[in-house]
Homo-oligomer: A and B are copies of this chain.
């Protein structure tokens, strides 16, 4: 099954055997080589076929990460960082074998500086862990990619999610990183100051590098005060265009929406069936507003007026926590609700992001493409940013259907590129989108290769991702 043409990464059998020996001598049974644990550390949540590492090691400290990196560097063995394994583009696969570095044991919250609205965590802390830890401080970390992902993994893929429209992405919310570089050195990319012009922005270089330049061992994150009030609701629209026009008007008027999510008719139907709800089964926007009591009321009312102007509504909103929770639980469960439309299938999630002025056109053309192709697929999106996901439900036993799905994805990615958009708003390139990166950025990819080669000349850091084998 050739779902994507991954650039070949050659296995270094001798080096791998030697590194495994050394690691076994040094760490004994902490080095895991059983098949099932290796399977768990290859890809499980993606449609991309699994490629197993040769061993799995869970370091407890940055020093242990350095030790493993030095051993692997000495014997030219790939290292694949692993968090919760919820990435979607083959990021945790081991195309050349090597060591999966499971960072979930490094899960301490190292410090919380409430006055500075920041905290420093190890990479294995998940976003839910962190918010649980913060529960008595009045602060929270907003980035929410849906899955309860590790913060290290979220940084590595430049993740975002439902409330990026207000709070930004991981790019905007990491003040600094510590990372073990391919030569085993531990660096810290910045001080804890809120802004800096001190040299090249290594923090942003590592965010989104998908573990191909170094292993993140700690992150300092921006925190926010929990809003005094939150309101939210669901608003139906007669069609996609009008929903998108309402989004554009809302953003343009400067309404500081915290979330503005699009769910198409089929996905609404799936959500109703899955969660036993009775939302309208036309294109809907899910919204949330953060602010003062007066502020969230004003925002919701302003949005209601905008929606009405574009034929939408009624916009029923509430400030009652239980009702909001039900609403967002339904939105978060949309992935499973959609899968349940066709049990036994696998979901392939696309991730294009286009300028918001092109969004309606892009979604409408994509829905027509879905209808024409005969695929079963739903559309959901973080439309405040112009980012939407098509979830294609594939029968993995039907090669023809897989081929059809892949052709659809290629058409969608190229449609987004033709609208000055990107093939990935938040999932990353991994293995799955390498062939679109060149189409998207042209010669800029050569500059990425030069950076990769300079920082990781042996190509041991998560090889075969983003820019293939990492060699020009």
For chain A, residues 142 to 188, give those with C-beta under 8 angstroms from any C-beta of chain B.
157-160, 164, 168-169, 171-172, 181, 185-188
CB contact under 8 A between A201 and B158, given known A294-B294, A386-B193, A420-B192: yes
Contact partner of A202 (CB less than 8 A), chosen from B169, B202, B447, is: B447
CB contact under 8 A between A425 and B197, given known A115-B356, A355-B113, A357-B116: yes
Tell me whether A376 is interfacial, beta carbon within 8 Å: no
Proximity bits, A416-456, B CB within 8 Å = 1, else 0: 11001111111111000100010011111111101111110
CB contact under 8 A between A422 and B187, given known A252-B117, A356-B115, A455-B450: no
For chain A, residues 234 to 257, give those with C-beta under 8 angstroms from any C-beta of chain B.
248, 251-254, 256
CB contact under 8 A between A200 and B451, given known A194-B385, A441-B189: yes
Q: How far is the CA of A71 from the CA of B448 in the complex (A)?
A: 24
A426 and B197 contact, CB distance less than 8 A? yes
Tell me whether A354 is interfacial, beta carbon within 8 Å: yes
Tell me whether A15 is interfacial, beta carbon within 8 Å: no
Q: How far is the CA of A385 from the CA of B193 in the complex (A)?
A: 8
Contact partner of A164 (CB less than 8 A), chosen from B193, B195, B253, is: B195
Instruction: Tell me, rounded to whole Å, the shortest Cβ–Cβ distance linking A242 to chain B.
Output: 15
Instruction: Tell me, rounded to whole Å, the shortest Cβ–Cβ distance linking A132 to chain B.
Output: 21
Tell me whether A466 is interfacial, beta carbon within 8 Å: yes
A116 and B355 contact, CB distance less than 8 A? yes
Stretch of A98-106, A205-213, A311-319 with 4 or more beta carbons under 8 angstroms from chain B: A205-213
Instruction: Return chain B residues, CB-CB under 8 Å to A168.
Output: 172
Tell me whether A224 is interfacial, beta carbon within 8 Å: yes
Number of copies of this chain in the oligomer? 2
Instruction: Tell me, rounded to whole Å, the shortest Cβ–Cβ distance linking A301 to chain B.
Output: 11
Tell me whether A292 is interfacial, beta carbon within 8 Å: yes
Instruction: Tell me, rounded to whole Å, the shortest Cβ–Cβ distance linking A297 to chain B.
Output: 10
B442 and A447 contact, CB distance less than 8 A? no
Tell me whether A321 is interfacial, beta carbon within 8 Å: no
Closest to A425 in B: B195
Instruction: Return chain B residues, CB-CB under 8 Å to A196.
Output: 158, 353, 422, 424-425
Contact partner of A187 (CB less than 8 A), chosen from B202, B294, B427, B447, is: B447
Q: How far is the CA of A217 from the CA of B187 in the complex (A)?
A: 32
Instruction: Return chain B residues, CB-CB under 8 Å to A65.
Output: none
Instruction: Tell me, rounded to whole Å, the shortest Cβ–Cβ distance linking A296 to chain B.
Output: 11
CB contact under 8 A between A248 and B115, given known A197-B429, A444-B189, A454-B453: yes
Tell me whether A114 is interfacial, beta carbon within 8 Å: yes
Tell me whether A298 is interfacial, beta carbon within 8 Å: yes
Task: Give 19 new A-B contacts, CB below 8 A, not counting A197-B428, A200-B452, A204-B204.
Answer: A115-B248, A117-B252, A164-B195, A171-B195, A187-B443, A187-B444, A189-B441, A189-B444, A192-B420, A193-B355, A195-B426, A199-B437, A200-B213, A201-B207, A202-B448, A225-B252, A225-B254, A227-B254, A256-B256
Question: Taking beta carbons and an 8 Å cutoff, which residues of A are in contact with B?
Answer: 113-118, 157-160, 164, 168-169, 171-172, 181, 185-202, 204-205, 207-209, 213, 224-225, 227-228, 248, 251-254, 256, 292, 294-295, 298, 351, 353-357, 385-387, 416-417, 420-429, 433, 437, 440-448, 450-455, 466-467
Sample (18) of A-B pairs whose CB atoms are under 8 Å apart: A117-B251, A157-B197, A164-B195, A169-B195, A187-B441, A188-B441, A188-B442, A189-B441, A190-B441, A191-B441, A195-B426, A198-B441, A199-B437, A200-B448, A201-B207, A205-B451, A450-B454, A450-B455
